[in-house]
Amino acid sequence: MSVPIGDGVDIETDALTTFTERLIGPDVGAVTKAQPMACGGGMAECSTFGEAEALADAETTKFLTEEAQGFDAYRQIVAACRDEYLDRDFTSAAAIAQSFDARER
């Protein structure tokens, strides 16, 4: 649905709905599903690399979790804007219809 707002502003509310449905944040589980590096011997630095990998995984998971929260917040903002535009459009339409009804009486 396209809702005209104000002086020539035209909001595509269906596009906002589609956007909120299709906006997908990062897959935090992709990092948490990774298998830790196994040290089977042969390389003295293996445990150091393993520790660095675990730290990197933890930091990446933290970052992706924060990003996922940001995506959710953005989705909510877009949906709230869409709802506000629709609400104002329907409220304005009802007021206009009511004024026409008052004239006819």
Q: Give pLDDT tens digits for 75-92.
A: 999 999 888 888 887 777
Phi, psi (rounded to 5 degrees) for 99: -70, -35
Quick: pLDDT tens for 7-48. Answer: 556 778 899 999 999 999 999 888 877 676 677 767 888 888
Q: How many domains does the chain have?
A: 1
71: nearest Cα among 28, 8, 11, 35: 28
Cα(47)–Cα(17) distance, integer angstroms? 49
Contact 78, 64 (CB under 8 A): no
Range of the domain at 82: 2-104
Residue 23: Cβ within 10 Å count: 12
Look up the pTM and report it.
0.65
